[in-house]
Amino acid sequence: MDFNSTNIVLIPKCKQSKSLNHYRPISLGNIVSEAIANRLKPWLDTIISPFQSAFVSGHLITDNVLLDFKKNHFLHTHSKGRKHFMDLKLDISKGYDIAEWSFLWQVLGKLHFPCDFIEFIMLCVSSVSYSFVLSGKQFGTIITQQGLHQGDPLSPYLFLLCTESLSLLFLVARERGTIPEVAVCRGAPSISHLLFADDTMVFIPANMDMVQHVCHLLDTYKLASGQEINLHKSSAAFSHNTPLEVQQ
């Protein structure tokens, strides 16, 4: 099987197809990726931390939704005391498109996947070229240089493995005491971050030291993975008792 050559064929979605959105692209590469994804999925529950709730069997997205709701309620009702808190909602800019293949290779190795399995995954990710078949004839060639392919069944799971490194950075920061975890109510688990696929929520005390620690952590992740935060799609919220000068 030649993994370096994948033909993309447009399959009509309806009988009278008149525009491009009436067609669905399909390729042999997706079939191979789906087989690998099915082998990978059963192991994700033991690999991905509970802070990530997307695409992982056994991780209920409602758990993180409930924690996020409690966190927002805490911010709106925490109006007294000397401790101030902030919630950062961070969006990874074009997360799939700019993921570094070398970083993915290192992540898979650190997670102790078998070498032949890693090589097979990287072959699917990095060595595929695409040609289009129109009216039975092959046209053009597209060769990718980085990133995970949108629409590929394997890509969401590989992306989760990459972002698991970001979660581990937060856990290391907790162990070092630089970024503490916060409990939003009695009986609630202490958290510093939650992940919903490519959205990251960071809950920390509102002070400049904490912000600098988070920025350093995000810079470290960017240097390793190639992924950076999209500031235009990110936001910050503060507890009601946070002074305006601190928020600014």
Amino acid at 230: N
Looking at every residue in the chain, the average pLDDT score rounds to 80
Q: Does residue 19 have a pLDDT over 80?
A: no
Burial class of 211 by CB neighbour count within 10 A (0 to 12, 13 to 18, 19+): middle
DSSP structure string for the chain: --TTEEEEEEEESSSS--SGGGEEEEEHHHHHHHHHHHHHHHHHHHHS-TTB-SS-TT--HHHHHHHHHHHHHHHHH--SSS--EEEEEEEBTTTTTT--HHHHHHHHHHTT--HHHHHHHHHHHHS-EEEEEETTEEEEEEE--SS--TT-TTHHHHHHHHHHHHHHHHHHHHHHTSS--B-SSTTPPPBSEEEETTEEEEEEESSHHHHHHHHHHHHHHHHHHS--B-GGG-EEEE-TTS-HHHH-
- Residue 64 has a pLDDT of 67
- Residue 213 has a pLDDT of 93
- Residue 1 has a pLDDT of 47
Mean pLDDT of 14-20: 73
pTM: 0.73
Q: Bridge-partner residues for 132, per DSSP?
A: 8, 139
Query: Which candidate, 247, 159, 147, places its Cα nearest to that of 198?
Result: 159
Q: Does residue 2 have a pLDDT over 60?
A: no
9-13, 49-53, 198-202: which has the highest mean pLDDT? 198-202
- Residue 25 has a pLDDT of 67
pLDDT tens by residue, 111-142: 889 999 999 888 888 876 777 777 778 777 77
Mean pLDDT of 100-108: 91
